[in-house]
Structure 1
Amino acid sequence: MERNPALRLASLLQSCIEKKSHLSAAKILHTRILRSGLYADTFLSNRLIELYSRCNSANNARKLFDAIPNKNIYTWNAILTEYCRMGELEDAFMVFDEMSEKNTVSWNNLISALVRGGFERRALDVYDKMVLEGFLSTHCTLASVLSACGGLLDVECGRRCHGLAVKIGLELNKYVGNGLLCVYAKCGFLRDATQLFKDMPEPNEVTFTAMMGGLSQTDRVGEALEMFRLMCRKGVRVDSVSLSSVLGVCSRGTSGEAAFNDQRDRFASNLHGKQVHGLAIKLGFQNGLHLGNSLLDMYAKYGDMNSAEKGFDNMPCYSTVSWNIMIAGYGQSYQLQKAREFLQKMQNLGFEPDEVTCINMLAACAKSGDMETAKLMFDNISRPSTSSWNAILSGYLQIGNNQEVVKLFREMQFQSVPCDRTTLAVVLSSCTAKGFLEAGKQVHTAWQKGSCHNDLYVASGLIAVYSKCSKLEIAKCIFENLPQLDIVCWNSVIAGYAINSLHKESFTVFKKMRQNGMSPNQFTYATVLSSCSELGSSSQGRQVHSQIIKDGFTNDVFVGSTLIGMYCKRGEVDEARDFFDMMPSKSIVTWNEMIHGYGQGGQGDEAVGIYREMIEGGEKPDSITFIAVLTACSHSGLVDAGLEIFDSMLQDHGVEPILDHYTCIIDALGRAGRFHEAEIILNKIPYKDDPIVWEVLLSSCRLHDNVSLARRAADELFRLDPQNSSPYILLANIYTSLGRWDEANAVRVLMGNHHITKDPGYAYIELEAGPQSSTRVKNLMMSNNEFLTANGPDHLSMAGSVA
């Protein structure tokens, strides 16, 4: 008996679907169905639509769908699946809306297609509608929805899905579990992600990759690498995706905070990256394009462009991404010419530069300081995106052209280009650097209107701008209205009070931060130590020092340098030296603070000694170093040592002397009464029209009663700064000390004719009144700035006011 033709055709259709047969086979079977009179068989038609879909023939599938007389839910799902697979989302929505009956498969198809197409928010809206209409989620539903949550960093929606998964018993499903873990990891909730990881019965390569990504994203590079080692120890299959992920972790290790502070971490990350490269070769993945690009990116971020270029040359094929990575790497390495060469090669080989290429070239020009070329490239982009604007803004910020940053930001606003957190952060950095209050307010408005209105990174920048512009009430208001706070926001407020000389308030905020459970970082400690220095409070400084030891920041160069500065400022130079000697590593700032501390305490020999120790140790002195050591020589009378160091600046160390250096050496010579040498230097310097040089010389003339040179210095000061009372007072005092009353009186008359008066001076003295309190007393400053108020020695007095 002849076999049922419908069953035979169904079997052939299934075989063709499984073997992904050619379109011709689908058409032959279609013809057989028509000839057999089975065109009305809905089951066969549904399978034929599926076969056309597998053959990528959406038109034939749609024609068949339209011709089916008795469509059922499987028919509708078949054509919906085809549109979703092809990414034809508008057609998919049209079919979905026309469906009289839907099931979970229908919803899952549409949600999954939206997520794949990058429409995560729209996918979540469809999911919400699905739930409202009473459809039960499956593991496929939750996997797609969690993928959307991860893309949008919507942890709240992820938590709702987590609760539902527990309720319907899907929390241990590997697809759902991996989706949840990805959401928590991407959103920075590592504690939740870690707990999920521990609870998963059989974590796979996706699980480990998600954990590595989450740990890396929060700069826990070491833990991320350890996760990869655990993955290998457990025998979990290592694929090209997990290898790309761990290469990203290694790359991140070159740009994280730890790597910035310690060159050893950079070496360790480089070593790990090369080990992963070796493993990729061993496993046979080295020829994959995605993994190859990850290797290029890793070497480029290390700055190892030789290895990157070798890897590039050995790649069997390239993508635009490959070229972009190389161009970006050369730009970051200040090799602008190589970046240009690769751009030319890219175009010669038929690769079309995209916007990322333009941004990378912009960044390369900016990194090398060639903003003229960068601007030309930017102007040639027909419709620059936010990323392009960010690149040009960052370039101008890098070269310190803050005015141009603000100008371009206003132009960007005028063109209605949306800002992101990078845009606002760059512009706020410029506003803070120059105190541009109005521009800062414009950024504030854009921040409130935009999608990043709660972004803590931008909020901390706003706090810094308002603090710099002495608008502390606004800064405080922004701080107090943030829904959550991070260490950067706390640091911005603490620094804001400090730069406005409200050091007591700065210390109070520091204590409040600790009470709220926030752990200080090195920037926090450096700022609050500076405030302790200004307050002159020994007890507060020592409390902070104790906390620094407890929190393990004693080896931090930044904190250590500030701590030395605090002790030196309080006159506790021996304590500063003890800590200095214990520091495992020192920066130029550390050495400068110690030299300055000795100079401040009148210990010139020690200052010169530690300067020479620094030179012998191979540390390169900077301009600040020479100011510190020359000041110490001046105050301690070490004139010959000062001259020797001054002469070595340019000759031995390549540091061009500036006004402060000349002022120090002239002061040293003047204090020693070596006016002839001082005049020789004075006649050579390019700063003859700066009043401070002549003020220093005039002060020295008063000490040694050098009337002729004093008169020359005073005349120069009368010319340069006619309303300054100091030269009149100093010159009058010289005449008075020599008993030349007529000339002293002439100076007094000259002051009166020019309506010049001396401002009273004040000093604050902190008296310890008890263990818990202190009293501030205003006291008249009795200094060299005496004011001559009478015609002769019998009528001289000091004029001042006690406030």
Structure 2
Amino acid sequence: MESQSARLANFLQFCIDKKAHLAGKLIHAYIFRNGLIFNTFLSNRLIELYSKCSNIAYAHHTFDKIPKKDVFSWNAILGAHCKAGNLQDAHELFVKMPDRNIVSWNNVISALVRNGLERNALDVYDSMILEGFMPTRFTLASVFSACGALLDVERGQRCHGLVLKIGLEKNKYVSNALLSMYAKCGLISDAVQVFDDMSEPNEVTFTALMSGLAQTDRVLKALQLFRMMLRKGIHIDSVSLSSIMGVCARGGSKEFSVFDQHDAFCSNMSGKQVHCLTIKLGFEEDLHLNNSLLDMYAKNGDINATEKVFANLPLANVVSWNVMIAGYGQTYQTRKALECVQRMCQLGFEPDEVTYINMLAACIKSGDIETGRQMFDSMSFPSVSSWNAMLSGYFQSGNHKDAVKLFREMQFQNVLPDRTTLTIALSSCAGMGFLEAGKQIHAASIKAQFHSDIYVASGLIGTYSKCGKTELAERIFYKMPLLDIVCWNSIIAGFSLNSQDKEAFDLFKKMRQHGMFPTQFSYSTVLSCCAKLSSSFQGKQVHALITKDGYTNDIFVGSSLIDMNCKCGNIDEARQFFNTMATKNTVTWNEMIHGYAQNGCGDEAVSLYKEMIASGEKPDGITFVAVLTACSHSGLTDVGIEIFDSMEQEHGVEPVLDHYTCVIDSLGRAGRFEEAEVLIERMPYKDDPVMWEVLLSSCRLYANVTLAKRAADELLSLAPHDATPYVLLGNIYSSLGRWDEARGVRDLMKDKQVMKDPGCSWIEYQSGDANIYGG
């Protein structure tokens, strides 16, 4: 009898391995006919068979018929329900179990993690530890997976300590899960350490680390790791190839600066090499891999290659079409994206939510907000993601009013917002300084329980700051249970925006004392504060920190450093730093030219402008404002006119009001009023007070009363309560001894109740608390 049971058990194991449902049922019938149905061991195998073949009803029927259920019987049916995703039934079984072992706990924990209930899984794990069970490699792998999904690195580190304590650190299964957890939490150095400690990393190890490196924008490092994988002869499967294509796609999807263009090129070239490897290894038929390939070419902007791959697909699905639509959207080809949707429908593919979102994004990226809105309105039940895409489109196009209006419509339709919805809506309120709407969205965030969310809080801080309510922004900031660098940056920028630069600087110091590492944005903002405070001492301290933290090569931080030094009068230091910058963009050149203009170094500004042109950098409108200002302040009138005339002819930059004002100022300073008047007559901007104010100031220098009177009349009609034209005109009359007319101007000021603002000056005081190092 025992030998017969053993043979039947072996047959059942074969059926389990091959998922041979029909053959298994025949063996079940044989067992029943021969009176072996009460054999607990065989019944347990039958439960496993039906579970493997997804026949949960037969599995439960078999379990119910077992007269003497053992722990293996309970684990078998528990595992069946866990595998089927019947978590409620699994929980009820788990509670009823007369005895539990580690397998029982592992079944429940892994099922919860697989179904996205990571927090519940960790709670079950805590209960398991309290009941005295020692976790196995399977337990810890599930726990690390849960920690990675929740970004709960603190718990993950505690479990890492337990791994070392019980001696599982060399287990490949545990090590892979641990590495993946650190990678998902962004702790790449810890992930690399786990990788280095592994004696024989496999394809899972390499794939997890590559994904982590790509996630933190270390694209080239991820590519180097894949090459190492090839050199070591590690097995390459479709998952590894799909992962490295995702790395290449991530490299292409970034908005690359000049410095990063090499990275983008490397990503596309490496992607083509991986494509060749895919063909070489015979994966041309793998649909998932082909979709990754499409996505990689699309995100690298190589739409021709994307179209070729799509045309040669042996099989396509909705995902393939969605990637094509997204690719056309990324390259601003809205018409082709629409054609793609039409072809997709003609071939019998049903568009899903992603299709509509990609099409919506295509319209928005191309600036076709109207078509995007038509697409949005055609959706029967748009999801939150679709609402967010439309809101984002309005925000990106500067149409803040419609963004707020759409958010209100979303509220009326009882669609619950998420953190993205609230953040975009708040950004639109901030963009137009709409305080009342910002308060309403604040109330909506409290109702939706997102007011403590870091991103929403940052949006609220930004909105209140831009509406001039820094006290409300500060109140939200200090109520936050957890603060990240985004919140700190928001509050610092808010104070700086409202000219509370000393307070902003003090917050920067507090941020560092709280152990936060400043980002490029932090440094750019605090350098702007130093510039506005004309505080060279504090600026030098910040510069030292920037050097220490390795941000000197960041273009935006570098540009801010130049601006700060120039505004503090350290023009030579600014130029020295400018010369050492590895990469420069238009902003960098503009800051240095403008710095020369501010410090009266006209010749140097013009020379640098010419150097900029020679380097191949394209000047923009701000470049010309800077260099024309320099010419005006340094008496280089003819040079300025020559540069002004070259703007549109040679560089395709149409002059605007600021450019005309610079040239008029230059002509006025040189006493060339006839030319200034000719230029005023032909310029399209005559109703701007700044231009007339500039001209009036020049008239004072040359005692040109006639033109001064005209400029003053224009100013008084445009800004009747501005004291400047009265003061300037009165000073002209006084300097010429025309006291009656000067008195008449002062009397007019009194009649119109125009008050002159008092002047002020300040010096930098280096107090003991100025040290930003916290010492």
TM-score, normalization by structure 1:
0.86
Correspondence for 1:404: 402
Correspondence for 2:535: 537
Q: How does 1:580-619 map to 2 (within 5 A)?
A: 580-619=578-617
Correspondence for 1:21: 20
CA distance in 2: counterparts of 1:587 and 1:260, whole angstroms = 8
Task: Report the number of matched residues.
Answer: 770
Question: Aligned Cα RMSD in Å?
Answer: 3.4
Correspondence for 1:762: 759
Tell me the amino acid that sits aligned with residue 319 of structure 2.
V
Q: Is the 8 A contact 2:749 2:755 kept in 1?
A: no
CA distance in 2: counterparts of 1:743 and 1:54, whole angstroms = 103
Q: Select the structure with the greater relative contact order (CA < 8 A; seq sep ≥ 6).
A: 2
CA distance in 2: counterparts of 1:516 and 1:96, whole angstroms = 45
Deviation at 1:269?
Answer: 2.4
Correspondence for 1:696: 694
Correspondence for 2:115: 117
Deviation at 1:244?
Answer: 1.9
Q: Is the 8 A contact 2:329 2:365 kept in 1?
A: yes
Tell me the amino acid that sits aligned with residue 763 of structure 1.
C
Matched, 1:213 2:208: no
Matched, 1:504 2:515: no
Deviation at 1:320?
Answer: 1.9
Matched, 1:319 2:317: yes
**3-state SS, counterpart of residue 760 of structure 2:** strand
Q: Is the 8 A contact 1:702 1:731 kept in 2?
A: yes
Q: How does 1:298-337 map to 2 (within 5 A)?
A: 298-337=296-335
Farther-moved stretch of structure 1 (425-434 vs 7-16)? 7-16
Alignment gaps of 5+ in structure 1: 775-803
Q: Is the 8 A contact 1:253 1:259 kept in 2?
A: no
Alignment gaps of 5+ in structure 2: 771-775
CA distance in 2: counterparts of 1:162 and 1:583, whole angstroms = 42
Q: Which of residues 451, 457, 465 in structure 1 aligns to 2:463?
A: 465
Deviation at 1:355?
Answer: 0.9
Structure 1 residues 318 and 649: alpha-carbon distance in aligned structure 2, compared to 1, 3 A threshold: same
**3-state SS, counterpart of residue 235 of structure 1:** coil
Correspondence for 1:709: 707
Q: How does 1:681-760 map to 2 (within 5 A)?
A: 681-752=679-750, 754-760=751-757
CA distance in 2: counterparts of 1:510 and 1:56, whole angstroms = 59
Farther-moved stretch of structure 1 (512-521 vs 350-359)? 512-521
CA distance in 2: counterparts of 1:264 and 1:302, whole angstroms = 13
Q: Is the 8 A contact 1:365 1:373 kept in 2?
A: yes
Q: Is the 8 A contact 2:404 2:437 kept in 1?
A: yes
Tell me the amino acid that sits aligned with residue 409 of structure 1.
F
Tell me the amino acid that sits aligned with residue 644 of structure 1.
E
CA distance in 2: counterparts of 1:260 and 1:605, whole angstroms = 28
Q: Is the 8 A contact 1:697 1:713 kept in 2?
A: yes
Q: Is the 8 A contact 2:220 2:263 kept in 1?
A: no
Tell me the amino acid that sits aligned with residue 245 of structure 1.
S
Deviation at 1:764?
Answer: 0.6
Structure 1 residues 104 and 677: alpha-carbon distance in aligned structure 2, compared to 1, 3 A threshold: same
Deviation track 1:463-513 (CA, whole Å, cap 9, x = no partner) reads 333333343344444445555554444433433332232333333444444
Correspondence for 1:435: 433
Structure 1 residues 485 and 21: alpha-carbon distance in aligned structure 2, compared to 1, 3 A threshold: closer
Deviation at 1:400?
Answer: 1.0
CA distance in 2: counterparts of 1:3 and 1:501, whole angstroms = 89
Deviation track 1:730-766 (CA, whole Å, cap 9, x = no partner) reads 33343444444444444444444x3334414212142
CA distance in 2: counterparts of 1:551 and 1:31, whole angstroms = 73
Deviation track 1:19-59 (CA, whole Å, cap 9, x = no partner) reads 44351x34443443444344444444444444444444444
Farther-moved stretch of structure 1 (168-177 vs 261-270)? 168-177
Q: Is the 8 A contact 1:45 1:68 kept in 2?
A: yes
Deviation at 1:415?
Answer: 4.4
Correspondence for 1:492: 490
Deviation at 1:402?
Answer: 1.9
CA distance in 2: counterparts of 1:271 and 1:88, whole angstroms = 46
Q: Is the 8 A contact 2:621 2:653 kept in 1?
A: yes
**3-state SS, counterpart of residue 761 of structure 2:** strand
Farther-moved stretch of structure 1 (506-515 vs 398-407)? 506-515
Q: Is the 8 A contact 1:146 1:158 kept in 2?
A: yes
Deviation at 1:364?
Answer: 0.9
Matched, 1:620 2:636: no
Deviation at 1:348?
Answer: 2.2
Q: Is the 8 A contact 2:259 2:583 kept in 1?
A: no
Deviation at 1:414?
Answer: 4.8
Q: Which of residues 362, 365, 371 in structure 1 aligns to 2:363?
A: 365
Correspondence for 1:785: none
Deviation at 1:362?
Answer: 1.1
CA distance in 1: counterparts of 2:288 and 2:43, whole angstroms = 40
Tell me the amino acid that sits aligned with residue 766 of structure 1.
I
Deviation at 1:325?
Answer: 1.8
Q: Which of residues 548, 554, 570 in structure 2 aligns to 1:556?
A: 554
CA distance in 1: counterparts of 2:409 and 2:722, whole angstroms = 44
Deviation at 1:179?
Answer: 2.3
Specify the structure having the higher radius of gyration (Cα): 1
Structure 1 residues 363 and 725: alpha-carbon distance in aligned structure 2, compared to 1, 3 A threshold: same
TM-score, normalization by structure 2:
0.89
CA distance in 2: counterparts of 1:165 and 1:564, whole angstroms = 50
Farther-moved stretch of structure 1 (433-442 vs 494-503)? 433-442
Percent of pairs with identical residues: 63
Tell me the amino acid that sits aligned with residue 752 of structure 2.
H
Farther-moved stretch of structure 1 (85-94 vs 214-223)? 85-94
Deviation track 1:351-377 (CA, whole Å, cap 9, x = no partner) reads 221111111111111111111222222
Q: How does 1:167-206 map to 2 (within 5 A)?
A: 168-206=166-204
Correspondence for 2:773: none
**3-state SS, counterpart of residue 686 of structure 1:** coil
Correspondence for 1:148: 146
CA distance in 1: counterparts of 2:75 and 2:568, whole angstroms = 80
Structure 1 residues 15 and 657: alpha-carbon distance in aligned structure 2, compared to 1, 3 A threshold: closer
Deviation at 1:343?
Answer: 1.8
Farther-moved stretch of structure 1 (62-71 vs 626-635)? 62-71
Farther-moved stretch of structure 1 (663-672 vs 226-235)? 226-235
